[in-house]
Amino acid sequence: MPRISLEEEQMLLGNPSGATAEVSNANNYLLSKPQYALSYSKSRGTPNWVSWHVSNDWLGSAPRQDNFRTDVTLPEGWYRVKSGSYTGSGFDRGHNVPSADRTKSVEDNAATFLMTNIIPQAPKNNQETWANLEDYTRDLVQAGQEVYVIMGSYGVGGTGSNGTAKKVDEGRVTVPSRIWKVLVVLPEGNNDLSRINTSTRVIAVNTPNTQSVRPDWSSYRTTVDAIEQATGYDLLSEVPEEIQEVLESRIDEVPAQ
């Protein structure tokens, strides 16, 4: 079987919101890159969701680039969030695809610093809860697994180090109230979609975007169904319906340590 394209790899589980690369679809605009795929909202100034694959193929020794920058691939005439857009806001420039998930090459790592991959994230949520879940994801990969991840945010208003805010960047970027993530965990292998079955491990997490969030991500486990209900998205849509039904209704109970 021929290897699928990198773009197809990043959205293997489906297109949760039916995003398209049409300028008229401004709040559900598909950006498909070799490193990840996302649905962008022009009115929010953030991604709705981002989808990517973590495996040993993506991990290497490229250093963190830290080159936060405007994504010039957004359509002409759209406001483009800048590297300094969150400065002084009390919110971190929170990655969806973490820098450390893309260390095979400098180019791959740099792609994670595009502002279309970033949300205003409460510092404790970003540096503790989310960092712990990101580390856990890569630990799974080091232990012989590969992980498909979809992450997103919704709602309006979070609490950062300067207190609660609904918008930053002079009102051009919306601060989400909730941040969620779904991970589908498989043993390393090929033909990944066909290997997902009713016993596949799926981790769904939904956290408040606040400073009072607990560092232990596993205390925020939920179902995929609950995230779908909150967002209106159809997650794991490429997985056969009867398998989806089982996986999406289950809360992961594997000890997180």
Nearest to 10, CA basis, from 28, 40, 31, 35: 35
Burial zone of 228 (CB within 10 Å; 0-12 exposed, 13-18 middle, 19+ buried): middle
**Contact between 155 and 176 (Cβ < 8 Å):** yes
Q: Is 95 a catalytic residue?
A: yes
Q: How far apart are CA 71 and CA 64, in angstroms?
A: 18
Q: How far apart are CA 195 and CA 80, in angstroms?
A: 39
Q: Output b/e per residue, 183-213; b: 16+ Cβ within 10 A.
A: bbbbeeeeebeeebeeebbbbbbbbbbbbeb
Choose, from 33, 80, 93, 95, the residue flagged as catalytic.
95
Residues with catalytic roles:
95
